[in-house]
């Protein structure tokens, strides 16, 4: 159950940091520091650092408890990055994202009302 709490906390914090309007004034542009600002606009990138942060403060919570060693910050960072990205691709502001793929490519085309599935 600890892993579920970790993943949900990581996803929530990543969403807030990447998309929340309260951070619009302090979130750097994508071009900041020769492209380093992209980190603050990418749920996969930010998700990694959120996972490392949560590992670093896990002694302060009873929701999850991971051992402090050299491997865990990387493993939890990767887990947080992957799950934050997957959840971001599946869930949007209006619920589950439903997209139709073009027959010849894999470019998603969003369905409008009245479109056939």
The answer on pLDDT for 51 being more than 70 is: yes
The stretch 25-40 carries a mean pLDDT of 91
Domain boundaries, the chain: 2-110
pLDDT of residue 92: 85
- CA torsion sign for 65, 67, 70, 72 is negative
Q: What is the pLDDT of residues 52-100, one digit of tens each?
A: 999 999 999 999 999 999 999 999 999 999 999 999 999 988 888 877 6
pLDDT band at residue 28 under the 50/70/90 scheme: very high
Q: Please spell the DSSP secondary structure of the chain, one letter per residue.
A: -HHHHHHHHHHHHHHHHHH-GGGTTTSPPTTHHHHGGGGGG-HHHHHHHHHHHHHHTGGG-SS-----SSSHHHHHHHHHHHHHHHHHHHEETTEE--EEE-SSS--EEEPPTT---
């Amino acid at each position: 159950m600890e892993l579920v709490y970790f993943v949900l906390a990581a996803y929530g914090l990543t969403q807030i940091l990447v998309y929340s309007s309260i951070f619009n004034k302090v979130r750097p542009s994508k071009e900041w520091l020769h492209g380093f600002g992209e980190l603050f606009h990418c749920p996969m990138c930010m998700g990694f650092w959120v996972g490392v942060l949560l590992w670093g403060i896990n002694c302060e919570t009873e929701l999850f408890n991971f051992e402090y060693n050299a491997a865990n910050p990387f493993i939890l960072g990767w887990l947080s990055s992957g799950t934050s990205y997957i959840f971001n691709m599946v869930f949007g502001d209006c619920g589950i994202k439903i997209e139709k793929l073009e027959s010849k490519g894999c470019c998603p085309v969003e369905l409008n009302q009245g479109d056939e599935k």
